[in-house]
Structure 1
């Protein structure tokens, strides 16, 4: 059985240089910016990005429409509530006036009856 072989400094330097060369070769082998495959991928990413932005804009518009619709519904409900309260106040005031007129008529009738007895 052979023993452990310690790598020397030159071996480590050559390994590092070959690794750097491999990375550089891989970088150089990469397709250029005007390669049809690269252009196609770039256009696909751009189309996907534009579609995403359109969907987001549509969602925002829908959300704004919903909020506007809810606001108008709330305003209509509030106006209806205020009108109902005003009607109730007016009806109550009319009932009070009628009740006071009834009381006055009864009081006047008692007064007239008392005067008639004398």
Structure 2
């Protein structure tokens, strides 16, 4: 089958312009028809993003509370360790003072016993 119609340049241009116009009209019609669905999808995406942001903020709040609780526990443990170290130091100092006091008392008792023996010896000699 031979194309009997003679396609001239002006015919081809007209056909091309008509095709472009038809495509443009179809595109605009598709845009108008899809606008409500697109708006609904956009609203759904906005809701999803808001929910995602809310969950992120909740996770951040929980993480902050956990960190603050951990820091409070660490501070309590450090305070307890310092109190224990202070108590141990005080106990060690009091034990050292008691030992020094016992040594001084023992030394005084030995001196008193020696002085008593010396006095008895002098009393026997006189």
TM, length-normalised to structure 2 = 0.70
Deviation at 1:113, TM superposition (A): 1.1
Aligned equivalents of 1:34 and 1:72: distance in 2? 56
Q: What residue is the counterpart of 1:75 in the other structure? A: 75
Distance 2:25 2:66 in 1: 57
Name stretches of at least 5 consecutive residues in structure 2 with no aligned partner: 1-8, 119-126
1:84 aligned partner: 84
The CA RMSD measured in Å over matched residues stands at 2.7
- State the partner residue of 1:65: 65
Unpaired runs of at least 5, structure 1: 1-9
Shift of 1:103: 0.2
Q: How many residues end up aligned between the 2 structures?
A: 104
Q: Kindly name which structure, 1 or 2, has the bigger radius of gyration based on alpha carbons.
A: 2
Higher relative contact order (CA 8 A, sep 6+): 1
